[in-house]
Every structure is written in C-alpha cells, then in structure tokens.
C-alpha cells in the first residue's frame, strides 16, 4: 500500500525493468541494468550502468540511489557517490555508478539488480551569513573527536 508521492517514470529502452519494492517493508525499490550487453568492472574500476528509466520526482522530494547491500557484502560492489541524488527537475536517464572494491572482476549483465531507489523528502534551507557561530561543547572537533 503506497503512502508516499506518485512518481511517474518512462522506459527509455526496451530492456528497462519497472522498479519494484521486493518486500512490503522495503524502503528502496530495486533498479536493474538495461545495458545493451554485459559490462565488466575490474577491481578498483567503476562504470555507469544505464537503467533505461527517466523519472519525474515531485517537487519537495529527491530520489536517492543507494547500493544493494548484498552486492556490497558479498562482492565489494558499491556506489562511490552513495547516495546518488536524482533531483526533482532532472528528466534524463538514471545511471547507476558502480565501483568494484572487491578482488575479482564483476560482470553486470542486462537485467541484473544494480542499486535501489529511495524516494525521500527534501528540506530547502534558508542560509544566513553571520560573523560568528554559537559555541558548543564539541566546537571544531573533527573526525573521531567523539570516540
């Protein structure tokens, strides 16, 4: 049962698959490769995999393209820009940028599930330039500062 915005999409390639939630509790819908043939990704390399899909995400929302946890855990296949953002005004084909952090080459074949798409609300911040910021207990402590 849907409880979110209506997201329209167009299949740009005959091999494009309709994204789908794989279980009732899934936060993301799977995206599949619509490439014309296999794409090899060597260890340490990356490749932009076409989905054959274009989306009309409503204003006030974004599409977050995230890695599939099984591919990351088993094979070291992830997204270097995770999450990748699909803005509400973008109408081009969605590509999933995969990176192979594993030790073996990875072959993406047409129809393989390569990522997941989460539709999330966006808050547009109002920026205000000031001359100083309020003090906090942490202050300027950076990476690893809190343990």
Structure confidence by residue, pLDDT tens digits, 26-82: 999 999 999 999 999 999 999 999 999 999 999 999 999 999 999 999 999 999 999
Structure confidence by residue, pLDDT tens digits, 71-128: 999 999 999 999 999 999 999 999 999 999 999 999 999 999 999 999 999 999 999 9
Please indicate, yes or no, if residue 2 is contained in any of the structural domains: no
Please indicate, yes or no, if residue 133 is contained in any of the structural domains: no
Could you check whether the bond before residue 83 is cis, i.e. omega within 30 degrees of 0?
yes
Q: Which of 46, 58, 48 is nearest to 91 (CA)?
A: 58
Quote the CA–CA distance of 82 and 22 in Å, as a whole number: 20
pLDDT of residue 147: 66
Please indicate, yes or no, if residue 143 is contained in any of the structural domains: no
pLDDT of residue 3: 81
**Which residues, in sequence order, are bridge partners of residue 37?**
none
What's the pTM?
Answer: 0.88
What's the total number of domains in the chain? 1
Question: Residue 80 belongs to a domain with what CATH number?
Answer: 2.70.40.10
Instruction: Domain of residue 16: give its range.
Output: 8-121
Question: Which DSSP string corresponds to 54-113?
Answer: EEEPPTTEEEEEE--HHHHHHH-EE-TTSSEEE-TT--S--EEEEEE-SSS-EEE-TT-E
């Amino acid at each position: 049962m849907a409880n979110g915005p209506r997201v329209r999409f167009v299949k740009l390639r005959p091999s494009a698959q309709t994204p789908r939630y794989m279980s009732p509790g899934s936060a993301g819908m799977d995206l599949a490769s619509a490439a014309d043939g296999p794409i090899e990704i060597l260890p340490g390399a990356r490749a932009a995999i076409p989905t054959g899909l274009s989306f009309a995400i409503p204003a006030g929302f974004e599409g977050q393209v995230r890695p599939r946890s099984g591919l990351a855990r088993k094979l070291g296949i992830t997204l270097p820009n995770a999450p990748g953002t699909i803005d509400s005004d973008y109408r081009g084909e969605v590509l999933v940028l995969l990176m192979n952090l594993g030790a073996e080459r990875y072959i993406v074949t047409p129809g393989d599930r390569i990522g997941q798409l989460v539709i999330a609300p966006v808050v547009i911040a109002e920026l205000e330039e000031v001359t100083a910021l309020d003090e906090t207990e942490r202050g300027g402590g950076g990476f690893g500062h809190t343990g």
